[in-house]
Homo-oligomer: A and B are copies of this chain.
Amino acid sequence: MTAPAPADHRFLRALARQPVDRTPVWMMRQAGRYLPEYRAARERAGDFMTLCRTPELACEVTLQPLRRFALDAAILFSDILTIPDALGLGLHFVEGEGPRFERPLRDAAAIRALRRLETETDLAYVLDAVRLIRRELDGRVPLIGFSGSPWTLACYMVEGGSPGDFARIKTLIYDEPALAHHLLDHLAGAVTDYLNAQIRAGAEAVQIFDTWGGALSTPAFEAFSHRYLQQVVGGLIRQQDGRAVPVIVFTKGGGLWLEALAATGADALGIDWTIELGAARRRVGDRVALQGNLDPAILRTRPAVIRAEVERLLASYGAGSGHVMNLGHGITPDIPVEHAAAFVAAVAEFSPAFHR
């Protein structure tokens, strides 16, 4: 089989709101612990960061889900916290507790001393992985690169781990807004450089994970998250090797702010499961495509329940292009592989009817 030219991939066509034969589908965290072959690779690597830092291993786990399911995109296997790790904060993972930094940003001096990211050297392992994965994919499906948003990175860097009640980072933005803006501006520059380097290395689309945007009030979201999403999107390479490079912005819990998110300049918005696809589509019109939004908890149930929900989501979005099916958040380790398979297969089965 000859690989189609990249622009013909239905994932990229759907992001451009061009006609497709069926709705494309991928899953956030599709290369993850629910796959036995992933767990085996992780065990061989010894720890999570070795998996991220070794291009051959990152490539291997990136490709694993594509061997099982008819997915329409691959996503670089990496972590959203590679930038702060590269900046010297010392990322490590505590079993069952998520990411931790050895040297979180605990005062103004630490924030002001943060050095500039030198992506090509600091994160060479990521760019090597992107190049290797592109080569191995050989045009079968597009490769998505990604980064955490400036706000989301700042949350982890200031809190020292998962933000919990956001006590430190919210004190920073409300009590020392100038210092917060200094940090966020620095991170926006780093995220822009990092995503552009991924694009130059071969990423055919990029996604910005604004995991914690939804924890903010509307004006705080505008000032401390949205503004820097816009800054990043505005600085991205949008054409590479003669093809458009679409940008997906995913603010978890951002359903109230879809119009503002559509105005960032992104090509598509990721949405979580709290908002209806149809309602979201009516609000953003033809300004952006939408990606989402099955509640990943549904993957725990039964294939019949998963299939019914996929059909409901497709009907909610309605006829026409501009939708990439996905979960509303990452797939969790306890999901049976055959349930993930049922999700992907249901999209292939039910979606052609919406594209005639």
**Which A positions have Cβ atoms within 8 angstroms of B?**
165-167, 170-171, 174-175, 214, 216-221, 253, 255-256, 273-276, 279, 293, 295, 297-298, 300-302, 305, 309, 312, 328, 332, 334
A253 to B274, CA, bound (A): 9
Known: A253-B274, A301-B171. A279 touches B332 (CB 8 A): no
* B171 and A216 form a contact (CB under 8 A): no
A145 to B276, CA, bound (A): 34
Can you show 10 pairs from A to B with CB atoms below 8 A apart? A166-B297, A171-B297, A171-B300, A175-B302, A217-B293, A219-B312, A221-B274, A253-B253, A253-B274, A256-B256
A279 to B301, CA, bound (A): 37
Closest to A170 in B: B297
Which residues of B have CB within 8 Å of A274? 214, 216-218, 221, 253, 256
* A220 and B295 form a contact (CB under 8 A): yes
A223 to B297, CA, bound (A): 16
* B253 and A174 form a contact (CB under 8 A): no
Copies in the complex: 2
> A256 touches which one: B167, B175, B275, B297 (CB < 8 A)?
B275
* B170 and A298 form a contact (CB under 8 A): yes
Q: Which of A165, A328, A332 has the most CB of B within 10 A?
A: A165
- Distance from A127 Cβ to chain B, minimum over Cβ atoms (Å): 33
Known: A217-B273, A274-B218. A170 touches B300 (CB 8 A): yes
- Distance from A261 Cβ to chain B, minimum over Cβ atoms (Å): 14
- Distance from A88 Cβ to chain B, minimum over Cβ atoms (Å): 27
Which residues of B have CB within 8 Å of A276? 217-219
Q: Which of A274, A298, A302, A334 has the most CB of B within 10 A?
A: A274
Given contacts A171-B300, A216-B295, 8 further A-B contacts (CB under 8 A): A165-B297, A170-B297, A174-B305, A174-B309, A219-B276, A253-B274, A255-B255, A255-B256
Which residues of B have CB within 8 Å of A171? 297, 300-301
Known: A218-B274, A274-B217, A276-B218. A298 touches B332 (CB 8 A): no
* A300 and B167 form a contact (CB under 8 A): yes
A305 to B170, CA, bound (A): 12
- Distance from A173 Cβ to chain B, minimum over Cβ atoms (Å): 9
* B217 and A295 form a contact (CB under 8 A): yes
